[in-house]
């Protein structure tokens, strides 16, 4: 099993050691990186490099709540568990979509429970199944901006700026993409509507959040507009409910 990548933000060395000892005893393997302040975590943080943040609430400098509030501006998905001596911040925890409170003193069961929850969440993320270098891999749909066919290669552009290259036909993945919020704007392109800013009707393209333009076939313009309208309508409706 691939270890869960965990960021621990704790400014008390003895508490950090206790937490690391319990993680070491866990039945689920982990790889831990320790930060002693919210500022240090924010400086190093990038989306997708960790599977879980264990965040102390009460620290010198900016608090755990302030740190996670800042992280949520760029990463809405990273699982967070607050480690604390009090549940006074339950409302902020809910607002920041924290998975759990882990109260001090730490207990092995609490650590096991949060790791199992994160592992379950990680394994059940809706993902695109691909074959790369002879191995099966998964790419979460939520990380994909769009896909582009170039002759025999398929470029998968991710929201973190990276690109995954595989040798596959885009059409072979249509059945997977159809179940998600993707629109096939062209025989060589499929876009994730979640990352579309708007449609440029003059250039006949989707303008993506990263500034790239994805072409739309002339005969597909009407369907593209309707697909984006429906997506935005259902997204807005979901938020209001």
pLDDT in tens, 105-126: 889 998 999 999 899 888 888 8
Which value, to the nearest 10 degrees, does the dihedral of the CA atoms of residues 47, 59, 113, 4 take? 30
DSSP single-letter state for residue 217: -
C-alpha 93, offset from chain centre: 18
Q: What is the pLDDT of residues 143-185, one digit of tens each?
A: 899 999 998 899 999 988 889 999 999 999 998 998 889 999 9
Record the tokens describing residue 224, joined without a space.
Answer: 């593209």
Query: At 96, phi and psi to the nearest 5?
Result: -95, 10
| 158-189 core/surface letters (b: 16 or more CB in 10 A; e: else) | bbeeeebebebebeebeeebeebbbbbbbebb
Q: What percent of the chain has pLDDT over 90?
A: 55
- Domain-wise residue ranges, the chain: 4-123, 127-240
Helix (H, G, I), strand (E, B) or coil at 105: coil
**Does the fold of domain 127-240 match that of domain 4-123?**
no
Note the pLDDT of residue 179: 82
Q: What is the pLDDT of residues 183-196, one digit of tens each?
A: 999 889 999 999 99
Helix (H) or strand (E) run with residue 205 in it: strand 205-208
Name the CATH code of domain 4-123 (choices 3.30.830.10, 3.40.50.2300, 3.40.50.970, 3.30.70.60). Answer: 3.40.50.2300
pTM of the model: 0.63
Helix (H) or strand (E) run with residue 181 in it: none
Note the pLDDT of residue 236: 64
Helix (H, G, I), strand (E, B) or coil at 75: coil
Note the pLDDT of residue 96: 64
Which one, of 38, 27, 37, 17, lies nearest residue 114 by Cα? 27
> How many residues are given for the chain?
241
Degrees to nearest 5, angle at CA 61 with 56 and 67: 50
Q: What Å distances lie between residue 131 and 22, 56, 126, 159, 205, CA to CA? A: 36, 39, 16, 20, 29
Record the tokens describing residue 130, joined without a space.
Answer: 């691909």
Whether the CB-CB separation of 28 and 1 falls below 8 Å is answered with yes
Q: How confident is the model at residue 65 (pLDDT cuts 50, 70, 90)?
A: confident
CATH superfamily, with its number, for domain 127-240? LytTr DNA-binding domain (2.40.50.1020)
Residue 66, number of CB atoms within 10 A of its CB? 15
Q: What Å distances lie between residue 101 and 6, 64, 87, 162, 188, CA to CA? A: 16, 12, 8, 33, 46
Note the pLDDT of residue 95: 60
Q: How confident is the model at residue 238 (pLDDT cuts 50, 70, 90)?
A: very low
Averaged pLDDT for residues 11-31? 92
């Amino acid at each position: 099993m691939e270890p869960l990548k965990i960021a621990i933000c704790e400014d008390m060395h003895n508490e950090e050691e206790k937490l690391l000892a319990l993680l070491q005893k866990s039945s689920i393997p982990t790889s831990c990186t320790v930060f002693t302040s919210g500022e240090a975590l924010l400086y190093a943080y990038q989306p997708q490099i960790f599977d879980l943040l264990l965040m102390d609430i009460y620290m010198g400098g900016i608090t755990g709540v302030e740190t996670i509030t800042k992280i949520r501006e760029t990463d809405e998905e990273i699982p967070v568990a607050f480690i604390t001596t009090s549940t006074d911040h339950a409302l902020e925890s809910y607002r920041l979509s924290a998975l759990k409170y882990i109260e001090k003193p730490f207990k092995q069961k609490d650590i096991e429970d949060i790791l199992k929850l994160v592992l379950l969440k990680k394994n059940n993320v809706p993902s695109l199944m691909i074959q790369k270098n002879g191995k099966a891999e998964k790419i979460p749909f939520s990380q994909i901006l769009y896909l582009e066919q170039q002759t025999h290669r398929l470029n998968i552009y991710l929201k973190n700026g990276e690109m995954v290259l595989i040798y596959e036909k885009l059409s072979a993945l249509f059945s997977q993409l159809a179940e998600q919020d993707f629109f096939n704007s062209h025989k060589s392109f499929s876009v994730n509507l979640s990352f579309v800013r708007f449609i440029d009707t003059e250039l006949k393209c989707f303008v993506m959040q990263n500034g790239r333009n994805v072409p739309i076939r002339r005969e597909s313009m009407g369907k593209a507009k309707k697909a984006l309208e429906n997506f935005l309508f259902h997204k807005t409706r979901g938020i209001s409910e």
